[in-house]
C-alpha cells in the first residue's frame, strides 16, 4: 500500500486547480481565467483501496501579499510545504522561466519535485523543448512531465511518475472520502466561482461568500448565503438592475451545487457590505480564512 501528500505549487493561473480536477476526475476546485481564484488549500483524495491513497493539495498562486487575506493565502502555501511527500511544480510553458524558477527556488523544497509543464496545447513554437532543457538542470527537479490539464493530455503519465515516488504507508483518511473539507465549503466556492465568471476584474477580488444555513430537508437542501463586498457600489453591481445579476449568480450556482450534492437545492443569496474586510482579522476568520 502506498500513501502520501502530493502538493501542487505554482504562479497564479499556471493551471493548478484545473490539474487537481483532472487528477481526481471530479470538480474539486473552482476554475477561472482570472488570477488568484484559489484562496484556500484544497485537499482531494485519489483512492484505490488496497493499493494507494494520494492526497493532492491545490494551493493559492504564489504572490507578494498586499492584504491580510493574501497573507492567509500564503499561509496555506506554507502549510502545504510542511507536509508534502512530493511537490508538483506546475509551469505555464509560455511563462518567463527565470521568474518561475526564482519562485520555486524560494520555496526551499526538501522533497522530490516533479516539474509539470502545462498548457502544451497552447505553447509557442519550441517553448516546450526550451522549458524542458531549462528545468532539467535544476537541482530540485527529479522528473519532468508535459501535460495539458485542460485537455486531459498525459494525466496518466503524471500519475505514473507520482506513483513511482510515492512512499509506502497506510491511508490517512477514509477511502470513501473525496476531501477533508465540508460540503458547505464547496458550496461557497461554487457561488464564488459564478462571481468570477459574471463580473469584471475588480469585483471578484473584493468578494467573499459565507454560508449561513445548510439544512437538509426531505425533498431538498435549503442554503442561505451572504455575498460579502467592500462597498455599496459593488453591492449594486452584484444585485444588478431589478435583481437581474444576483438572480443569474443564484441560477448558475444552484445548477452546479445540485450536481455536486445530487439533491434539489433552494438557494437564497443576500449581498452585505463589510468595508475593508480583506484586512480585518475578525472578519477573515468569520469568512473561513484561518
Per domain, the residue ranges of the chain are 2-165, 183-286
CA gap 19, 92 in Å, rounded: 12
* pLDDT for the residue numbered 45: 97
Closest alpha carbon to 288 in 179, 138, 143, 186: 186
* pLDDT for the residue numbered 1: 93
With a cut of 50, which residues of the chain have pLDDT below it? none
Q: Does domain 2-165 have CATH number 3.40.50.300?
A: yes
* pLDDT for the residue numbered 218: 86
Instruction: Describe the strand order of the beta sheet including 113-118 as a list of residue ranges.
Output: 42-48, 52-58, 2-9, 86-92, 113-118, 141-146
Class of CATH domain 183-286 = alpha beta
Closest alpha carbon to 212 in 201, 197, 222: 222
Q: What is the pTM of this model?
A: 0.92
Residues 249 and 209 sit within 8 Å (Cβ to Cβ): no
Closest alpha carbon to 30 in 150, 266, 194: 194
Amino acid at each position: 500500500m502506498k500513501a502520501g501528500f502530493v502538493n501542487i505549487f505554482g504562479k497564479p493561473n499556471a493551471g493548478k486547480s484545473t490539474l487537481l480536477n483532472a487528477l481526481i476526475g471530479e470538480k474539486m476546485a473552482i476554475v477561472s481565467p482570472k488570477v488568484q481564484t484559489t484562496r484556500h488549500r484544497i485537499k482531494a483524495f485519489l483512492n484505490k483501496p488496497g493499493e494507494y491513497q494520494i492526497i493532492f493539495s491545490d494551493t493559492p498562486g504564489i504572490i507578494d501579499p498586499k492584504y491580510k487575506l493574501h497573507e492567509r493565502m500564503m499561509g496555506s502555501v506554507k502549510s502545504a510545504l510542511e507536509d508534502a511527500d512530493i511537490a508538483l511544480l506546475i509551469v505555464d510553458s509560455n511563462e518567463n522561466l527565470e521568474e518561475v524558477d526564482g519562485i520555486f527556488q524560494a520555496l526551499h523544497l526538501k522533497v522530490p519535485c516533479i516539474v509539470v509543464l502545462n498548457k502544451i496545447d497552447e505553447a509557442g513554437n519550441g517553448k516546450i523543448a526550451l522549458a524542458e532543457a531549462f528545468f532539467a538542470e535544476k537541482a530540485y527537479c527529479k522528473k519532468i512531465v508535459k501535460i495539458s490539464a485542460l485537455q486531459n493530455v498525459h494525466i496518466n503519465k503524471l500519475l505514473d511518475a507520482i506513483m513511482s515516488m510515492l512512499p509506502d504507508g497506510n491511508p490517512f483518511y477514509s477511502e470513501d472520502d473525496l476531501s477533508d473539507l465540508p460540503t458547505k465549503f464547496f458550496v461557497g466556492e461554487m457561488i464564488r466561482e459564478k462571481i468570477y465568471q459574471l463580473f469584471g476584474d475588480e469585483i471578484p477580488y473584493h468578494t467573499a461568500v459565507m454560508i449561513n444555513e445548510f439544512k437538509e430537508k426531505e425533498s431538498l437542501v435549503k442554503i442561505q448565503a451572504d455575498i460579502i463586498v467592500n462597498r455599496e457600489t459593488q453591492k449594486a453591481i452584484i444585485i444588478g438592475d431589478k435583481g437581474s445579476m444576483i438572480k443569474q449568480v443564484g441560477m448558475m450556482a444552484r445548477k452546479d451545487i445540485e450536481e455536486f450534492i445530487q439533491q434539489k437545492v433552494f438557494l437564497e443569496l443576500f449581498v452585505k457590505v463589510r468595508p475593508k474586510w480583506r484586512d480585518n482579522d475578525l472578519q477573515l476568520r468569520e469568512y473561513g480564512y484561518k
